[in-house]
Structure 1
Amino acid sequence: MADVLEERAGVPVLVCDPAGPPVATTEQALDLIGGAAWGGAQVVALPAERLDPSFFALGTRFAGDVMQKFVNYRLRLVVVGDISAHLAASGALRALVAESNRHEHIWFVPDLAALDARLAA
């Protein structure tokens, strides 16, 4: 399956293929942003497994750089999938996820059903 633009709860969402190319650099994140914006998406649902492990190691600053790019381009980023192992290893990441999920720009959800519920609320 390729990345697909879908309407979910009335919102255009680019649902990214779990087997798609990894996002390991800010340039790859910008490529994803460009494709999503060009297609008319307001939200990018990115499987957690496509993110380089450095995204979850906050000391690398990669997560902050990627999240800031999405905010700058006014696209919402939703990381979809089980990140419990990363959360167990980092209190700072747990805090980031909790704070992000309180706002509208960056969300971490376990699956697309949870995304749909958040979008519908």
Structure 2
Amino acid sequence: MAMEKITENGVAIALVTGTCALTDEQTALDLIMEARYTLGAERIAIEKAAVSPDFFILSTGLAGAVLQKFINYGAKLAVYGDYSGYTSKPLRDFIRESNRGRDIFFPATRQEAILRLAGV
């Protein structure tokens, strides 16, 4: 996993790339703390490939548990990538509703993730 800080619209954002950076509640907490205390960022953009596939199977409960960590610790998250291959209606609904909110986003591209997190 690699993490770098960028600033967009005056907002610090941690960009996370690599493999299996977000696999459970503990890795979510580790990401939040590393972004906050190492980079000074409260917002995190992570590529979909770095998220456990179980996250996208809502019945595992992983998405809910991980996202609750972000909410509890006041961090914002954008998981960017191609979601067109998912056929689960509950997952598509979850992604659509999340994208309407202010804290969790599922944009298609890295640039869109950065802009959403920066409030642009």
Q: TM-score by structure 1 length?
A: 0.89
Instruction: Flag the structure with more relative contact order, 1 or 2, with Cα contacts below 8 A and sequence separation at least 6.
Output: 2
CA contact (8 A) 2:32 2:42 kept: no
Question: Does structure 1 conserve the Cα–Cα contact (< 8 Å) formed by 2:29 and 2:69?
Answer: yes
Shift of 1:24: 1.4
Match of 1:113 in 2: 111
Paired residues in the alignment total: 118
CA deviation digits over 1:37-64, x for unaligned, max 9?
1121121001111111110000001001
Identity of aligned residues (%): 35
Tell me the distance in 2 between the aligned counterparts of 1:111 and 1:69. Answer: 23
Aligned residue in 2 for 1:99: 97
Cα contact 1:55–1:63 (8 A) shared by 2: yes
- Separation (CA, whole Å) in 1 of partners of 2:114 and 2:41: 15
- 2:43 equivalent in structure 1: 43
| Deviation of the 1:117 alpha carbon | 3.6
Residues in 2 aligned to 1:31 and 1:116: alpha-carbon distance in whole angstroms: 21
SS in 1 for 2:45: strand
Corresponding residue for residue 54 of structure 1: 54
What is the CA deviation profile of residues 56-78 of structure 1, one whole-angstrom value per residue up to 9, with x for unaligned ones? 00000100111110010000010
Partner of 1:76: 76
Letter of the 1:99 partner, please give it. Answer: E
Residue 58 and residue 115 in structure 1: after superposition, are their counterparts in 2 closer, same or farther (change >3 A)?
A: same
